[in-house]
């Protein structure tokens, strides 16, 4: 063991469950614009599927004029594009809901960002054509298994409204950060849906079906719905676009710091437009001050860095709050919208620190 290795200090994925594998990205890594594949968060509904590489094919059927089967070679030969974007699990920050909700207790790491490369679904649909009846597109993965709440086995499948499905940035991806997609993230191909929560980006894609009605699989009609009430399903609505949100990366909650200048910094992101402003408050939200934003204008789906110089001269306990706004006027609320399955948490971020 050489000295560098023995002294190497690094963060790791943060385990929530092992089967299925659910692990958070370490927030210590979110100061990099593209998360290395080994630190990308993992969120699975089932054990990993068996994929026969040579037998791989993707079928497109249903409300099309010519059902077709594409090989991986076919996909690689078509015009490609790269999408740099935040991927966020709908359950990210679930652990912060009060009252508590059941399910994986994700903290702030059920999200990552990086660059996906693939073919627009719209490009493929040029070959198959579509019928005038089409309303939704159903994406089915190779992963399947049992659920606690239903009998029998289910495959992971999700639909998109046709308009979102044919957006040119909705792609069938085969690369992540310049390399084939890692097995655990959907090898050989997965759907990539910018601006929607991660459940839409179906991994290990095997079949695409255009339908004339509404898809009602359990991952569409039971899970990934906002249920406002604990004991009934009144008012349920589907989880779709990512809410405007931010995370304070530094300082950590309940940290003890020296007097002096501290750089408060973090990330902000949204599923509509881009981040227009991030503000911080040191007085429980009475007054807010602007932070410095660092945006990559070529990457409108990525996260925005922000920072604020804090002159902490007086010893004592402080609460630092941060809130983001997007170009559609959405702003992080003081309290997250509570819902029974715990999706979309985006309350104003805050950390408590002690200057000593």
Residues 200-239 that bind a copy of itself (CB under 8 A): none
- Report the first-to-last Cα separation within the chain, whole angstroms: 39
Cα–Cα dist 79/257, whole Å? 52
Asked if 14 is part of the footprint of a copy of itself (rule: CB under 8 A), the reply reads yes
Q: Judged by CB, which is closer to a copy of itself: 127, or 187?
A: 187
Q: Shortest approach of a copy of itself to residue 9 CB, angstroms?
A: 5
Cβ within 8 Å of residue 28, ≥6 positions away? 11, 249
Cα–Cα dist 116/337, whole Å? 31
Cα–Cα dist 351/124, whole Å? 47
Binding flags for a copy of itself, 238-277, as an x/- string (CB under 8 A): --------------xxxxxxx-------------------
Are 269 and 245 a contacting pair, CB within 8 Å? yes
Q: Shortest approach of a copy of itself to residue 58 CB, angstroms?
A: 21
Question: What percentage of the chain's residues is helix, strand, coil (to nearest 5)?
Answer: 10, 40, 50
Q: Judged by CB, which is closer to a copy of itself: 196, or 310?
A: 310
Q: Shortest approach of a copy of itself to residue 7 CB, angstroms?
A: 6
Among 35, 87, 101, 248, the residue binding a copy of itself under the rule CB under 8 A is: 101
Cα–Cα dist 349/70, whole Å? 45
Binding flags for a copy of itself, 138-177, as an x/- string (CB under 8 A): ----------xx----------------------------
How many residues form the binding site for a copy of itself (CB under 8 A)? Answer: 40
Cβ within 8 Å of residue 43, ≥6 positions away? 22, 89, 91, 104, 110, 198
Among 80, 105, 295, 350, the residue binding a copy of itself under the rule CB under 8 A is: 105
Rg (CA), the chain: 21
Looking at the DSSP bridge assignments, the partners of residue 153 are 146
Binding flags for a copy of itself, 53-92, as an x/- string (CB under 8 A): ----------------------------------------
Cα–Cα dist 332/268, whole Å? 10
Asked if 309 is part of the footprint of a copy of itself (rule: CB under 8 A), the reply reads no
Q: Which stretch binds a copy of itself (CB under 8 A): 8-16, 66-74, 210-218, 322-330?
A: 8-16
Among 2, 10, 297, 313, the residue binding a copy of itself under the rule CB under 8 A is: 10
Closest alpha carbon to 215 in 131, 128, 135: 135
Asked if 19 is part of the footprint of a copy of itself (rule: CB under 8 A), the reply reads yes
* Residues found near a copy of itself in the complex (CB under 8 A): 1, 6-7, 9-15, 17-19, 21, 23, 26, 28, 48, 100-103, 105, 148-149, 182-184, 252-258, 317, 352-354, 356
């Amino acid at each position: 063991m050489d000295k560098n290795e023995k002294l190497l200090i690094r963060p790791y994925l943060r385990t929530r469950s092992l089967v299925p594998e659910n692990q958070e990205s370490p927030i210590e890594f979110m100061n990099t614009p593209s998360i290395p594949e080994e630190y990308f968060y993992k969120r699975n509904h089932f054990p990993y599927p068996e994929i026969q590489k040579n037998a791989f094919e993707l079928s497109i059927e249903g409300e099309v004029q010519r059902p077709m089967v594409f090989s991986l070679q076919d996909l690689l030969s078509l015009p490609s594009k790269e999408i740099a974007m935040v991927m966020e699990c709908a359950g990210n920050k679930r652990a912060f809901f009060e009252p508590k909700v059941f399910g994986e207790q994700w903290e702030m790491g059920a999200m990552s960002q990086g660059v996906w490369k693939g073919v627009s679904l719209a490009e493929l649909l040029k070959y198959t054509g579509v019928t005038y009846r089409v309303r939704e597109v159903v994406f089915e993965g190779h992963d399947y298994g049992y659920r606690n709440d239903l009998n029998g086995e289910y495959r992971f499948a999700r639909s998109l409204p046709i308009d979102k499905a044919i957006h040119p940035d909705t792609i069938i991806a085969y690369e992540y950060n310049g390399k084939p997609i890692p097995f655990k993230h959907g090898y050989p191909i997965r759907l990539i849906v910018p601006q929607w929560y991660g459940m839409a980006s179906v991994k290990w894609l095997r079949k695409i079906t255009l339908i004339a009605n509404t898809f009602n699989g359990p991952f569409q009609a039971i899970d990934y719905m906002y249920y406002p009430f604990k004991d009934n399903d009144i008012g349920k609505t589907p989880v779709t676009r990512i809410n405007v949100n931010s995370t304070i990366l530094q300082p950590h909650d309940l940290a003890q710091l020296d007097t002096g200048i501290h750089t408060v910094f973090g990330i902000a992101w949204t599923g509509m437009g881009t981040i227009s402003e991030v503000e911080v408050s040191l007085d429980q939200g009475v007054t807010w001050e602007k932070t410095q934003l660092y945006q990559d204008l070529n990457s409108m789906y990525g996260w925005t860095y922000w920072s604020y110089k804090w002159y902490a001269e007086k010893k004592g306990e402080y609460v630092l709050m941060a809130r983001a706004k997007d170009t559609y006027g959405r702003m992080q609320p003081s309290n997250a919208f509570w819902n029974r399955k715990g999706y979309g948490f985006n309350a104003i971020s805050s950390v408590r620190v002690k200057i000593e």
